[in-house]
Amino acid sequence: MSKIITIGREFGSGGRELGRRLSQKLEIAYYDQEIIAEISRRTELSEQYIRKMSEKKPVFSFPIHIGRSFHYMQNSPWDLNLSIFREQSAIIREIAEKSDCVIVGRCADDILREKNPFRIFVYADTDSKLERCRQRAEKDEKMTDREILTNIRKIDRNRSDYYNLYTGKNWGDRQNYDLCINTTNLSIERAAGLVADFFRQE
Amino acid sequence: MSKIITIGREFGSGGRELGRRLSQKLEIAYYDQEIIAEISRRTELSEQYIRKMSEKKPVFSFPIHIGRSFHYMQNSPWDLNLSIFREQSAIIREIAEKSDCVIVGRCADDILREKNPFRIFVYADTDSKLERCRQRAEKDEKMTDREILTNIRKIDRNRSDYYNLYTGKNWGDRQNYDLCINTTNLSIERAAGLVADFFRQE
């Protein structure tokens, strides 16, 4: 069995860390921000811009009505979103062709569906996510719990909108994953060990 | 860490088999129908009757209005449901006190919440559940796919109603479980191995 592992995750659930540890344990490649960097290289758009575009709810542009015909604006935000998504899909497919790997986010579970990746979704309860974000925030900036919670909800809503739009499926719906892991009572290290052992059974 | 493992499962997903194999791998007790038998012994109701009562959507009895006061019917189906649930809860708590174990269904995840059981939910896509039920049905009786599907939906709806009523939570909602396992592409043997290895890590 090939080890193509995709990880969807709620913000603050530790899904990214789980992915990184899992890739280390299995000694396979790990992709996350690297995909953004590669899109940037290919499209000549800045990484920051791509991150913003692919984390925001995509905006549809209204058609312009001239006489009796409709015209869609060229180079509208939606066109750009779609171009970025196409580039991203191509990169993710190339990555998965090259070697076994862990890919975090970016609808990789759906983009790679023909390769039957092992699809993981990582989640946790609100208190646990708040605590993880608090620890993370201390290093960067001081945020109130209220601000952190608003941020968690906003990011997850965007992830959900993004996933639902590009895959036609529901983000976080268990039917779209092989394994859903709750990190509330489970350390990331143990969760990574659980999945790594599973692949080592082969 | 104690090994108290509860398993919720969609009908036809192989959750019961997973529980049985897991208990064998970990060499711990397994409880499923045994709980019904014990309720029967304690209440002197037949096993068949208890199974019917605890698998059907519980029925609330209407209060009888006499003059200005309301009276609830004694020994109504709802009273009986509640008595059975109380007996069941007591038995499940006794079981979990005695030794490590796997308990399938019966809201055990919620009844044992203070013992922090490891809560698993097993599910699969419809085709996969249909196929598993088909194989099972061949031994007993010939059912059409349509009949099997109707049966799957009915049983899951009852399980959901039962769980939601007695726990105040949503059956199958990932937040209520530590691990949700999709058996569509995963053999029951491998899924049981995954969880067993996880506990052997200790």
- Does the pLDDT value for residue A189 go beyond 90? yes
Each residue's pLDDT tens digit, B148-179: 999 999 999 999 998 998 899 999 999 999 99
- Does the pLDDT value for residue A67 go beyond 60? no
Alpha carbon of B151: minimum distance to chain A alpha carbons (Å): 20
Euclidean distance between CA atoms B6 and A187, whole angstroms: 19
Q: How many CB pairs under 8 A join A and B?
A: 61
| Dihedral (CA of A112, A50, A14, A95) sign | positive
Point out the residue among B116, B180, B185 whose CB comes nearest to the CB of A174.
B180
- Partner B contacted by A69 (CB < 8 A): no
> Mean pLDDT of all residues in chain B?
86
- Does the pLDDT value for residue B116 go beyond 70? yes
Q: Are A56 and A158 in contact (CB under 8 A)?
A: yes
> Mean pLDDT of all residues in chain A?
86
Cβ–Cβ below 8 Å for A201 and B185: no
- Does the pLDDT value for residue A136 go beyond 60? yes
Q: A121 to chain B: which residues are within 8 Å by CB?
A: 174
Each residue's pLDDT tens digit, B42-77: 888 888 888 777 666 665 555 555 555 554 555 566
Residue with tokens 């809201």: B107
Q: B82 falls in which pLDDT band (50, 70, 90)?
A: confident
Alpha carbon of A32: minimum distance to chain B alpha carbons (Å): 24
Confidence at residue A139, expressed as pLDDT on a 0 to 100 scale: 64
Point out the residue among B121, B174, B198 whose CB comes nearest to the CB of A197.
B198
Q: Which residues contact B6 (CB under 8 A, 6 or more apart)?
A: B102, B103, B104, B108, B109, B112, B117, B118, B119, B120
- Give percent of chain B with pLDDT exceeding 70: 85
Q: First and final CA of chain B: distance in angstroms?
A: 7
